[in-house]
Amino acid sequence: MQQTVHLTRPDDWHLHLRDGALLRQVAAVSARQFSRALAMPNLKPPLIRVEQALAYRQRILDSLPRGNGFSPYLSVYLTDKTPLQEVSVAAECPYVLGFKLYPAGATTHSGAGVTGLDKIYPILEAMEEHDLVLQVHGEVTDPEIDIFDREKVFIERELIPVVARFPRLRIVLEHITTQEGVDFVRGAPETVAGTLTPQHLLYNRNMLLTGGIRPHYYCLPVLKRETHRQALLSAAISGNPKFFLGTDSAPHLRQHKETDCGCAGCFSAPAALELYAEAFDQAGALDKLEAFASFHGADFYRLPRNSGKIVLRRSEWTMPTSYGGEAGEIVPLRAGETLRWRLSSYPEKP
């Protein structure tokens, strides 16, 4: 049985780092595992201008020990009113990789998002010209559509027409959760890729709802049935460069999860790589982990692959029941349970 996995330092291409005290509490948790991350702009208020995104980047860096080596990248939050000139401003900033499409109301802090894709067609055209990437939360918000079907319907109604209309626009369908999402990305042109989270690779919706409701497994898009999980796992281990790592680690304080209207989001950052390793190991595909975690994302974003290595060892340990700190208590994914892999050497400092 394979006991170690050696990987080129990986990156997290979809991460919620929050702001203020919570940022100071969680940033180092991701920086310990990853070399770079694409930090999401759904703050309160959202990062709707490049200038705000760059100021946030500095706050992220300030929240980490000096010389840490972690490099955050940003995506700017699209609204119905994003000014066209913002696209050329973004294109000048090496740390801004693109713009994020949140359909208004689809997920946490998406209220200021886009109410109709036609409203941002001029922006998408400019992004295509400037070769900026569109990061997409791919769910419709139509109340008539069942929550488990919202990704599939978004692809049919919105994404397929956008890809046809903007054939050179590079798009990442974030946190894919369905067979239809996998099929769409696989069948789409080279311009389209997708990220996969650890929770969607490891769990189906039974985890959320069997034997009691488990708020720490509640995220959006919500966990789906087992057939979908299997489709996601086969995409992750396929070696297809269109699929890469994006944890979507989304910390909320315990009291905001364990309540009568709890927030969506799984805090997977403390053991993100170990969780991916577990999923790949279960599928007998540890040899495919490195490309998924360390190469495909960097290649898609046209950034150099990282240098340096990390090592994962097969070794059992127990995830703490919570992570305390300045902002309060956060319950991680798999709290109090056994993990099978352990990161045994951390990214080297540059």
Active site residues: 248
What's the number of CA atoms in the CB half-sphere (13 Å) around residue 54? 12
Which residues pair with residue 163 across a beta bridge?
none
228 binds, among Zn ion, ligand OTD, none (CB under 5 to 8 A by kind): none
Residues 6+ apart with CB under 8 A from 184: 155, 159, 160, 173, 192
CA gap 30, 50 in Å, rounded = 23
Between residues 18 and 24, which has the closer beta carbon with respect to ligand OTD? 18
Q: Which residue is nearest to Zn ion (CB)?
A: 137
248 near Zn ion, rule: CB under 5 A: yes
Q: How far is the CB of 90 from ligand OTD (least distance, A)?
A: 20
By CB under 5 A, the count of residues binding Zn ion is 3
108 binds, among Zn ion, ligand OTD, none (CB under 5 to 8 A by kind): ligand OTD
Between residues 8 and 108, which has the closer beta carbon with respect to Zn ion? 108
137 near Zn ion, rule: CB under 5 A: yes
Q: How far is the CB of 133 from ligand OTD (least distance, A)?
A: 16
Sign of the dihedral through C-alpha 264, 270, 272, 274:
negative
Q: How far is the CB of 207 from ligand OTD (least distance, A)?
A: 14
Q: How far is the CB of 279 from ligand OTD (least distance, A)?
A: 19
One of 107, 179, 191, 197 touching Zn ion (CB under 5 A):
107
Binding residues (CB under 6 A) for ligand OTD: these are: 16, 42, 107-108, 137, 175, 219-220, 248, 250, 263-265
**CB burial string 203-239: b at 16+ within 10 A, e below:** bbbebbeeeeeebbbbbbbbbbeeebbebbbebbbee
CB of 128 within 8 A of CB of 166?
yes
